[in-house]
Amino acid sequence: MEQFKKTLEERPFEFIKLTTIRAVKYFSPIRPLGFWFYQHGWKQFVFISCSALASFLLFLFGFAGIISSFFKEKRNHLLFYFLSFVFLTFASIVPIIVETRYRLPIYPFMAVFAGFFISRFISFKIEYFNYLIYSFIFLMALLFVDLSLEYKKILEKIDVIFKYGK
């Protein structure tokens, strides 16, 4: 905690930069939901790929639900409190540290908003389609930023998966 305070006081712009990078990693759709070490080679790669796809879909529909509820459900005060919990879950972790496992508390919120969005989308397709597009654009931006920051590390991990499996 002392190091955190010292960094914040001495190098606030570096702190903002690092926090932004951690926020991107926190919501990046290429970060898998899980990683099983007992699998190797192509099996591990397939598992990680499916896990990253599940993460992408959860965040795609979850963000679409957050965006649509923010604009369409302004009178629903309970939804406002729920959005506050989502923000607090994110804000309590990102300024300090981010690893994929620290995203676990956000998944139930994203699942609820994903369900909210999907139920609204089924009923009002045209009206809610734009929210899905906005969510997709946001996730693609996060994906490209994360890939540009971590591409060497990602390639190394893929290389390790296939070398270890041989």
**Residue of 49, 29, 22 whose CA lies nearest to 144:** 29
- Give the position of tokens 């309590």: 92
pLDDT of residue 60: 95
pLDDT of residue 164: 60
Structure-derived torsion over alpha carbons of residues 98, 33, 109, 123, reported in degrees to the nearest 10 = 140
Length of the chain: 166
Report d(CA 138, CA 122) in Å as an integer.
Answer: 22
Compute the Cα dihedral for 93, 141, 79, 74 and give only its sign. positive
pLDDT per position as a tens digit, 81-125: 888 888 888 888 887 776 767 788 888 989 999 999 999 999 888
Report d(CA 163, CA 25) in Å as an integer.
Answer: 26
- Give the position of tokens 């939901």: 33
pLDDT of residue 132: 94
pLDDT of residue 38: 65
pLDDT of residue 121: 93
pLDDT of residue 51: 83
Contacts of 144 (CB under 8 A, 6+ apart): none
pLDDT of residue 100: 67
Which tokens go with 110? 């994203």
Which tokens go with 121? 């989308």
Report d(CA 101, CA 80) in Å as an integer.
Answer: 26
33 secondary structure, DSSP code: S
pLDDT of residue 90: 81
pLDDT of residue 12: 85
Mean pLDDT by 10 residues, the chain (166 residues): 80 85 83 65 78 89 92 79 84 75 84 93 89 94 88 77 62
Q: How many CB atoms lie within 10 A of CB 64?
A: 28
Report d(CA 11, CA 20) in Å as an integer.
Answer: 14
> What is each CA distance from 75 to 11, 16, 52, 72, in whole angstroms?
41, 33, 35, 8
